[in-house]
Amino acid sequence: MEWMAPSCDEIEEAARQVVAALPEAFRARAAEVALRVVEFAPDDILKDMEAEPFELSGLYDGIPLTQKSAFDQPAGPDTVWLFRRPILDEWAERGDVTLAALVAHVTIHEFAHHFGWSDDDIAKIDEWWT
C-alpha cells in the first residue's frame, strides 16, 4: 500500500473544518481571516522571526481584535498561516497525536492570537491545552 503525505490543500481543508467547529460566537470573525497553507514560512517571515524553516508550524499575521483601532491602516488581511512541512515533521517526530489533532492545535493556537485569547480561553476550545 502506498501512502502519500497530505497536500497543502488537504491540510487547509482540515484547518477550515476546525474553524467551522469553533464556538458560534467566534466563527464569523474567524471566517474574516485569510487562511494560507504553504510548504514553509516565506523567507522574509523566517528572517523577521529569526527562525529556521522547521521551527515554525504556524503564524498569525495581523492585529489582534483586542488591539484593533478604527485608526489602523491594514497593509493586508489578517492571515493565519500554516506551514505544511514543519507540521508533518512535528507529527512524525511526536508519534503520539493524529495529524488532524496537530493541525487543529496549530490552527486554534494561531486564531487565539487573532482573538487575543488567554491560555484559559484556548483550553476551553482546544483539548490539547487541558
Residue 103 sits in a domain whose CATH number is 3.30.2010.20
- In a domain, residue 2? The reply is no
- In a domain, residue 72? The reply is no
Cα 22 to Cα 24: distance, rounded to the nearest angstrom: 6
Q: Block means of pLDDT (10 residues each) for the chain, length 130 residues?
A: 85 96 90 96 95 95 84 81 97 92 94 86 68
- In a domain, residue 19? The reply is yes
- In a domain, residue 88? The reply is yes
**Where are any strands of DSSP class E within 19-129?**
34-38, 58-61, 79-83
**Cell representation of residue 19:** 474553524
CB 17 within 8 Å of CB 45:
no
> What total number of domains does the chain contain?
1
Which structural domain, as residue segments, surrounds residue 32?
8-63+77-129
- In a domain, residue 102? The reply is yes
Start-to-end CA distance of the chain, whole Å, equals 36
- In a domain, residue 35? The reply is yes
- Supply the pLDDT for residue 12: 97
